[in-house]
Structures are given as C-alpha cells and as structure tokens.
Amino acid sequence: MSPIYDKHHDQFKDRLKRYVHLQAVEAAIVKDRLPIKTLKLGRVYDEWLDRLSYRIHQDLVKLRQYIQSHGEIVQIRQEKETRIVEYKYNGYLFKMEYLNRLMRVECEELLRAYAGLRKH
C-alpha cells in the first residue's frame, strides 16, 4: 500500500471537506443574520441561528484539531467556479477542488442536518 493513499488519508480528506463546508455554512449564517433582525420575529430567528452557529463552531473546533494533529491546511482560496484547498498529509502536498455549485447544495444539506430538517 502506498504511504500517500490509504484509508487514513481518505478519512482525513472527508474531515477536511466537512471542515471547508462548515466554514462556508458559518460564513453564510453570519451574512444572512443581518437582515433577519428587521423581521417581526427576528429575535427568535436570531436566537435559533445563535444555537446553530454554536453547534457548527464547536464541530469546526474539533475538526480543526483533528486536521492539525494529522496534517496541515496550507491554503484555502476561492476562485470563480471552485474553492481550492491545498493541504499537507504525511509530508506530501495535495490539492482538492470543490465546485461552487455542488458545494452550495452540499452546504444546504449540511445546514438542514444541523437544523433537524433532513429526512432520515
């Protein structure tokens, strides 16, 4: 088995992907909260988003700790059509690209799961 590709690397990539997606969800929540405060039930929505944000942030902290203990994020950069993540794992440099269109759908599903809206 190659030292570069193994089941641990796959697990690392899965957690890295979740980390990148949760970062995007967290940023979207921050941006979307601004106009919510002007709604009639804005305080309630804001409290709900606070709880969601807290849970997401806690998971981001855990994922960041895992990533830092097994590798390193070198750079995350947003391009027109993709988000590019460069990372080190086992001393090797890798690059992952996520299509923005697909990432948006995956982030929506992730948010639904955190909100308890996803069908099981």
Domain membership flag for residue 120 = no
Domain membership flag for residue 104 = yes
Total count of domains within the chain: 1
Find out whether 97 and 82 touch, Cβ atoms under 8 Å. yes
Domain membership flag for residue 1 = no
Tens-digit pLDDT profile for residues 66-83 = 999 999 999 999 999 999
Helix axis angle, 42-70 to 100-115, nearest 10°: 110
Half-sphere exposure (Cβ direction) of 105: Cα atoms closer than 13 Å: 4
Residue 34 lies in domain: 7-114
Domain membership flag for residue 2 = no
Answering whether pTM is above 0.85, one says yes
Backbone angles phi, psi at 3, to 5 degrees: -70, -15
Question: Beta partners for 75?
Answer: 86
Helix (H, G, I), strand (E, B) or coil at 118: coil
Residue 53: pLDDT band by 50, 70, 90 thresholds? very high
